[in-house]
Amino acid sequence: MNFLKNVLAAILGFFIATGILFVVFLFVISALASTFGDDEKIIVKENSVLVLDFKEPIKDYSKEVYFEDFDYKDKDFNGLSSILKAIEIAKTDDKIKGIHIKSSGNIGGLAMASELRQALADFKSSGKFIYAHNDFITQTDYYLQSVADSVFLSPMGELSFRGLSSEILFFKEMQEKSGVNMEVIRHGKYKSAVEPFLENTMSEANRLQMTELLNSLWNVMATDIAQNRNISIENLNNIAHNLEARTAKLALKNKLIDGIIYSDEFEQILCRATNTQNISDLDFITINKYTESVVNKARLNRPKDKIAVIYAEGEIIYGKGNPEVIGNETIVESLREASEDESVKAIVLRINSPGGSALASELIHREIELAKKRKKVYVSMGNYAASGGYYIACNADKIFAQSGTVTGSIGVFGVLPNVHRLAKDWGINAEQVQTHNHSLEYSIFEKPTETFIKTTTESVEMVYNTFLERVANGRNMTKEQVNEIAQGRVWSGIQAQQNGLVDAIGNLQDALQFAASDNNIESFEVKNYPLFKMNFEEILTRFGVRVKTKTLKEELGDEAFERYQQIKSISQQKGIQARLPYNISMN
């Protein structure tokens, strides 16, 4: 009888599990079907207003993914490059009457916001309007919206204008209490990525660089806002110091906005600007839809000559990359394809990275050297091109950074978790058997040996010296000169230019135009890399990661989720790292 019950239970369990898997499979297939479905033709109607409402975080790259098992190529239209192109086309599109900017909180950083501002300023030169109306405006969003003809806030709305900050958590005391330690080996007195594990407070060297960096970035923001809003930088600083923009009335009093109105009143302003009677006479098209429409049309007329733009976005890892991280294999493959393509006349490497694996950075650096034997390679820096991100930039023929780019951080470190004190407290004893003296390189259950510390320190020093050599050779400097501005020190784009780490202040378009002029190219098409290849198993894995990420973000909230990501990133680092030590809050 028990046997029969067990058999029936097993059969029932099998069918339940199969049913669950089938439901999950249908769910995934449904999601994929929406991706692979026929493209709906997007029609831009007369009397259209272009709505800048960035509902998803903006990436540099409008990535292309090739799904191998389906023989299908999918293109994302939420990349900065595509958005900038769309705004440029909208300037002369008679159907687009103006732009409405909505606050989103999804603009990644100061450099990205600056590129968008420049595109909007160019759009304004056509005589078309740009208006912003929101219930809440973050600081980065306000930096972007300050270029508008008018900025409006709803009566109960808020404007965040408080200056820049960076908060660093320190774990030394927690390690002492928990028995879980991070063994740290570093080079560079400013390499503050590992300082939280060594100290309970911020070092003077780190506080110095943080203060100078934040002041430099804030000056970029304040200068641009002051020019557009006709407010002195001194007044802007007073407003930020005293939080005198926190309510709609205060923001209006201090001239940061132009009016306090409800959305229906804003609709009347749009009607007057477009000479229409009713809001129903206007058509609102989102930037994503418009971008998809105009980019597809732009593909019809293609010049013969091409300039390759290779996007290196995210943390640098050893191995294969994906749309979220830079893998040396993926970037190396892109560099080879671009350098061997006869229609490609020049290469621009667009970097938006805080760094990562030193080994992966070195392998990418080497491939750039090989590519330069065939054609010139230029670099355009986005929000970040720091540490490993600068490593892969330093040997370019010309480097462009933006005023608000965070770069430098020429330094390396190694971090390893160790639980030998915790294991001892809990009565855990690890025994090892080995054939040679150092067969077991490292155990988290044992205190690091002098030999291990010595050899790892030698490795860190070797990588740091190699880093210095790469920068010295690429920038035509001596190692001593590089060392003076290195040691993990972080710089803004303006500071980096003053120190000889970059050649010019400019955006991606500036880099492309220079590359064209430098290579006598009259007209060109941009050919984007990399093309990410994914099979069905990788699709399912990434689908699961997205679901997990969304769930965690909803449960933890934005700030706690950011902390979780930082700790997770540190815990998963392998090998010697060349990485930016912190994040900067623009909002």
Distance CA 231, CA 228 (A): 8
- C-alpha 53/C-alpha 135 separation (Å) is 13
* Closest among 151, 332, 334 to 228, alpha carbons compared: 151
Query: Contact at 8 Å (CB) between 390 and 350?
Result: no
CA distance 32 to 26: 10
Rounded to whole angstroms, the Cα distance separating 298 from 150 reads 31
Measured CA to CA, the distance from residue 216 to residue 236 in angstroms comes to 15
| Structure-token pair, residue 215 | 């002041």
Q: Per the residue annotation, which of 91, 191, 306, 345 is the catalytic one?
A: 191
Cβ-Cβ contacts under 8 Å for 247 (sequence gap 6 or more): 158
Provide the token pair at 243: 């939080």
48 within 8 A of 96, measured Cβ to Cβ: yes
* Residue that is written with structure tokens 């621009």 in the block: 348
Residue 454, number of CB atoms within 10 A of its CB: 12
- 373 tagged catalytic: no
- Is residue 387 among the annotated active site residues? yes
Query: What tokens were used for 51?
Result: 């709505």
Query: In terms of C-beta density within 10 A (0-12 exposed, 13-18 middle, 19 or more buried), how is residue 556 classed?
Result: middle
Q: Are 350 and 386 in contact (CB under 8 A)?
A: no
DSSP E strands, 190-294? 259-260, 283-286
Angstrom distance (rounded) from CA 260 to CA 276 = 22
Q: Work out the end-to-end distance of the chain between its first and last CA atoms, rounded to an integer number of angstroms.
A: 67
Distance CA 197, CA 184 (A): 8
Element (H, E) at 471: helix 450-475
Marked catalytic residue, from 192, 380, 387, 403: 387
| Structure tokens that stand for 272 in this block | 């007057």
> And the tokens for 346?
């020049």
Half-sphere exposure of 52 (CA within 13 A, CB side): 30
Give all strands (DSSP E) within 467-535, no chain letters.
490-492, 504-505, 525-529, 531-534
Nearest to 430 by CA among 417, 441, 419: 419
The whole-angstrom separation of Cα 467 and Cα 461 is 10
Nearest to 263 by CA among 158, 161, 157: 157
- Residue 278's Cβ-side half-sphere holds a number of Cα atoms within 13 Å equal to 2
For 527, the token pair is 């050919």
**Interatomic CA distance for residues 500 and 38, integer angstroms:** 50
CA distance 201 to 171: 10
Residues belonging to the active site: 191, 387
